[in-house]
Copies of this chain bind each other. A is one copy, B any other.
Amino acid sequence: MDAIQHGWFSEIQNELWPGQSFSLKVKTVLHKEKSKFQDILIIDTETYGRCLILDGIIQCTTRDEFSYQEMISFIPLCSHPNPEKVLIVGGGDGGVAREVAKHPKVKEIHQVEIDDRVVDLSKKFLPEMARGFDSPKLKLVIGDGFKYMKDHKDEFDVIITDSSDPIGPAESLFKESYYGLMKTALRVGGIVCSQGGSFWLDPSHVKEVMTGCRVHFPNVSYAVTSIPSYPCGHIGFVVGCLDQKLNLNTPKQLFSSKEIDEMDLKYYSSSIHTASFNLPRWVHKYFYESQ
């Protein structure tokens, strides 16, 4: 079926979430184009604000994007004792750059996004996210994250992979070889954090990604955030760390409520950092206790 019917946008049916579908009521279609890499659709919705859709899948809405952007950024940043230099792979809407730039210890951010059209259209239609591109800490490169990491060895304290789902252009970002490459680009004590899918949707895929990560990182964990515009209303992050002894669920950098509010963090806090690693019993067993 068409993505928009009778004034409602519905996510395309695909193998990632068979048998279920989420729809948003559309106010206006703001933009539609086919870039070199993907179909881009930007709509204004009745109750979720503006919404970026790539290849028929919701990437973010202005109503709830902060949950994802803050958590994928602050979980690895606050798990690291001194995250001075950060690499973002993907993140073309600018929201992750916006969050990473807030962390007081971050001095330098490199971001590699493959599709310049996502960046340009976000600047035009999603300025609240795209203001991340204005940070003086940021160096934005349009190009291939794989190549960039090959050219930048032993450089970063934290690498954040803000990708779309593992079908289409982002598929390779969930593979074991990608984790191997990230390892080479990290400094001693480095941490990686990637969009890691949903344990409700496909726990075996999450586990496979974690297993791929464990080939290169001795310390791997999975945290989750609540976000209604993603399938099943949540999304997880696979976090890998070179330091075996580091307790990822305990933030090294603790922020007071006042500091959290001054950084305009709406979702992240030091206590939700820890809580986000607590998984339902069956998920914990499946990820950590079974082969």
Contacts and interface: CB of A to CB of B under 8 A. Distances in A.
A166 interface: no
Interface core residue of A21, A268, A280, A282 (most chain B CB under 10 Å): A280
B67 A280 contact: yes
A37 interface: no
Would you call the interface of chain A mostly helix, strand, loop, or mixed?
mixed
A61 to B, nearest CB: 10
Interface core residue of A20, A200, A265, A274 (most chain B CB under 10 Å): A20
A64 interface: yes
Contact of A226 (B64, B226, B260): B226
A120 interface: no
Report the copy number of this chain in the oligomer.
2
Contacts of A260: 281
A275 to B, nearest CB: 4
Interface residues on A, range: 35 or more
A267 to B, nearest CB: 4
Nearest to A229: B20
Nearest to A26: B19
A246 to B, nearest CB: 19
Given A281-B272, A284-B269, A21 B22 contact: yes
Interface stretch (A41-49, A121-129, A152-160, A205-213): A41-49
A143 interface: no
13 contacts: A10-B23, A19-B25, A20-B25, A21-B24, A200-B226, A226-B280, A228-B232, A261-B281, A261-B285, A265-B281, A267-B282, A269-B280, A275-B276
